[in-house]
Amino acid sequence: MSRYDDQLNSLKQCIAEDRLTHAMIIQGSPKGTGGAFVDELLRYLYCGPDPSVWEQDPAFSRLEAGSHPDVFRIEPESKSRQILVDQIMPLMHRVQQSSYEGGWKVSVILFADRMKDTVQNKLLKTLEEPPPKSLLLLVTDSLERLLPTIRSRCQRIDLERSITLTQERQDELENLLLTGIPRSPIEGVCFAGQIKALLDSIGKSIGDELKAEAKASDKALAKDVLDARVASSVKAALSDVLRLLQWWHRDLYLLASGAGGEHVYFQKHRRSLAEIAEQLGYQEAMRRVNAVDEISARLEGNIPVANLLEASLG
């Protein structure tokens, strides 16, 4: 059973036993596994444990339409792609009100890492003094950007693995990115080729390590089993590389849009990032953020990564 299913089943059990916590951090892609997890949890919470009768429940159609009166959702809407205090205040007000239908009140914050510290601090009162039958779901793929005071007050639901590339590999990727942004189709092809070469190198290292481990354990593994393990590990490494690419381009967007650098993930490269962002401009920075997000979303497909990189970032 997958980590996703394990976590979901655990929360279903909590709902059945009426011991659901008041706040959770869902660590997963807000537009991918994290968002899907929230949707499925809400269906179970409002429509009951039997999926075969969900579509007959009026709550189901309201959830699907995004119009359930007891579910309040927010995500970045501003030019800076940040969640602003003007969005948080209505959420906090709604949490204190009575439920329209007498059950749970759920507040969902997608891309919760895009709240500035001042905005996150606004949430602390709600987290410290939660009203009965209220649930706050913070969905993010960048857990480290949430304040420790927020993280310590929430149950953590991990749907996706953290970055596990070696520091040497991360440094190699960062050094490649510091060379700048491709400015022409030819440069885009070269850049994609360099990323692909890095991925191939990572894949070879993983394969060699797994084969050495199998040999050292004296357990004979069928070739197809070993190949499957290597493929799975390489895919996980690819996920890590793409996530770092996402964070890098989000940093460029933040700096290009003038939103300030306090939320920049790669702080040690902040000055270089600012120089690249100035050359890039707001519109192109936004396009590249969307492009890398699209690459990650299409990871499950069979399209070669190099082709996606060339088409999206060239």
Percent of the chain having pLDDT more than 70?
Answer: 80
Query: What average pLDDT does the chain have?
Result: 81
Maximum mean pLDDT: which of 95-99, 140-144, 161-165, 258-262: 95-99
314 close to 189: Cβ distance less than 8 angstroms: yes
Q: What is the pLDDT of residue 129?
A: 81
What is the value of pTM for the model shown? 0.59
148 against 234, higher pLDDT: 148
Residue 38 CA to chain centroid, in angstroms? 13
The Cα 151–Cα 141 span in angstroms is 13
Tokens at residue 193, please?
Answer: 């080729």
Among the ranges given (58-62, 126-130, 305-309), the one the predictor scored with the smallest mean pLDDT: 305-309
Q: What is the pLDDT of residue 32?
A: 80
79 close to 257: Cβ distance less than 8 angstroms: yes
214 close to 221: Cβ distance less than 8 angstroms: yes
Q: What is the pLDDT of residue 137?
A: 96
| Residue ranges covered by each domain of the chain | 3-158, 167-313
pLDDT at 311 over 60: no
92 close to 123: Cβ distance less than 8 angstroms: yes
pLDDT level of residue 40 (50, 70, 90 thresholds): very high
Architecture (CATH level 2) of domain 3-158: 3-Layer(aba) Sandwich (3.40)
Q: What is the pLDDT of residue 145?
A: 83
40 close to 159: Cβ distance less than 8 angstroms: no
Q: What is the pLDDT of residue 220?
A: 55
Among the ranges given (35-44, 161-170, 194-203), the one the predictor scored with the smallest mean pLDDT: 161-170
162 close to 237: Cβ distance less than 8 angstroms: no
29 close to 298: Cβ distance less than 8 angstroms: no
**Residue range 131-158: average pLDDT?**
88
Q: How many CA atoms lie within 13 A of 5 on its CB side?
A: 2
pLDDT at 302 over 60: no
254 close to 260: Cβ distance less than 8 angstroms: yes
